[in-house]
Structure 1
């Protein structure tokens, strides 16, 4: 049963406010429809997507400790809809909570840097949670099912979890990092059919894209082909960076693997929002590179 008055400190991240604006729009539309309140952290900064630590672990920890303290100031959990942000910020939070017990001077060093910038100290008093898990654990699949006004029957959905959501943190209390079912359970709740394939928990190739482009596209192409061959009508991902490699670069991927693909890639909140009665236009489904029309046609949208 859903908890009443769900409220989160919302960390939208960078990509959803830029290249994947449709994710920002669909998250806002979905949470409003479900009665979930989001308090956007306007002063938050980029999590670094795992790159800050290549220069300095202290830099990554301090930047993201600051992001966490913005949620702590509100006494709310920090909610993100980006798997990469979840992996990075969640891992920092996990590590700093552990350091409070094992390496207090390190946390004091970070808090000293935060103080210099006029920020509150990191307390370790909140949690970092992805939208997927908030829906599954806090809102509840039974409650979500009650909100469905359009059953997504006959739609075969292949989850693409990627790697950051499942394995960036040492402890994932919401799912099995190697055999997850969270997204598939969401698909069932909205009437869709889950499709299983080998690559659903693997890396999309995005981290390689800037320096090993062909290998990155080969990885993306392999996953898309496997999903198609398994009978998927679409991929659904909880990560906008995965979406960029799988959707916006799919035409380039086709050239590398020498196969036509054309598989629509949906953001997780877009799929759920369709089921609770929100229009495709409002969800930005016309903004994808790979057309989502085959999905919408199968669901009976004109």
Structure 2
């Protein structure tokens, strides 16, 4: 590759806590692909869509600050969480539109930022998920060239989640109702993509705090559909989806009265395996649903 990719990296909260293996595997993957990440250590939680329930100004100001940190570096803000992408990406869309239509509101946001000693939002960068950075910036052909261990004997079911696809007004990299980016990556690294109804639907996480049974039923439905279609694993670009589909899978089983046992991988974990990176370096032993049967099938 004749160019060097560099991003302002927004890891988000979940990847630094409950899904630490996502943080770990993102670092391993980007290092292997020679992608440089400048972590935004001063960034704040995006709010996962809850801030605006109290105040839209709060959501916009917090995330304008996050975006301004990337603007200071003159870099694209890179996320690896569908929810962070949906929230920060939508704020960026809204504030860019307000530069023309509601400049007084944008001034209010920037006044709040400068009062706290923060840089103002300029609307000079973009917000991009790791998935689409890999597809549109790095290139699937380039990924395929780096593959040293083709994952040719497994079937992977993508679980995009809803925030990545439809939280923003525009989706320039994929079809929000029939995306193909993850399936194209699966093919490039040798795996067989599995298509099933729930791959673009909500995992149920947003309901889980107040309608737990319904949330678990949703997760169970998606997992059962993927299993019925022949999947060896689910692969998701969202740690919140991962929590509902992997960490809570034993609870989901109790609610639906069926044994599932389907491993759920973070997207960078899967790609990194095809580059020959050892499972231990990717945190695959940290999952609730054991990844051992999948790894054995891959010859690890």
Q: Under a length normalisation based on structure 1, what TM-score does the superposition of the two structures give?
A: 0.99
Q: Give runs of aligned pairs for residues 75-154 of structure 1, distance below 5 A.
A: 75-154=74-153
Kept in 2: contact 1:3–1:139 (CA 8 A): no
Q: How does 1:230-269 map to 2 (within 5 A)?
A: 230-269=229-268
Distance 1:113 1:161 in 2: 35
The SS at the match of 2:235 is strand
Q: Check whether the contact 1:3–1:138 (CA below 8 A) recurs between aligned residues.
A: no
**Mapped pair 1:34 → 2:62:** no
1:15 and 2:35 aligned: no
What does residue 61 of structure 2 align with? 62
Residue in 2 aligned with 1:229?
Answer: 228
| Regions of 4+ moved over 3 Å | none
Structure 2 stretches lacking a partner, 5+ long: none
Secondary structure at 1:157's aligned position in 2? strand
Provide the rounded CA distance (Å) in 2 between the counterparts of 1:225 and 1:104. Answer: 49
* Corresponding residue for residue 168 of structure 1: 167
Pairwise CA distance, 1:3 = 6.1
Q: Determine the structure 2 residue equivalent to 1:181.
A: 180
Distance 1:63 1:255 in 2: 39
- Deviation of 1:8 after TM superposition, in Å, equals 0.0
Cα shift readout 1:241-298 (whole Å, capped 9, x = no counterpart): 0000000000000010011000000000000000011100000000000000111011
Equivalents in 2 of 1:101, 1:190: separation in Å?
Answer: 44
Give the SS at the match of 1:79.
strand
**3-state DSSP of counterpart to 2:231:** coil
Q: Give deviations 1:96-125, integer Å, cap 9, x for gaps.
A: 000001111111110000001101110000
1:95 and 1:297 mapped to 2: Cα distance?
47
**How far off is 1:87 after superposition?**
0.1
**Residue 220 of structure 1 contacts residue 253 of structure 1 at CA under 8 Å; is this kept in 2?**
yes
CA distance in structure 2 between the aligned counterparts of 1:255 and 1:142, rounded to whole angstroms: 43
In structure 1, list runs of 5 or more residues that go unmatched. none
CA offsets 1:48-81 (integer angstroms, 9 cap, x no match): 0000000000000000000000000000000010
Q: CA RMSD in A?
A: 0.6
Q: Distance in 2 between matches of 1:140 and 1:3?
A: 12
Inter-partner Cα distance in structure 1 for 2:2 and 2:235: 26
Which residue of the partner structure matches residue 42 of structure 2?
43
What secondary structure, in the 3-state scheme, does the structure 1 residue paired with 2:86 have? helix
Aligned partners of 2:51 and 2:61: how far apart in 1? 10
Query: In the aligned structure 2, how far is the partner of 1:133 from the partner of 1:288?
Result: 25
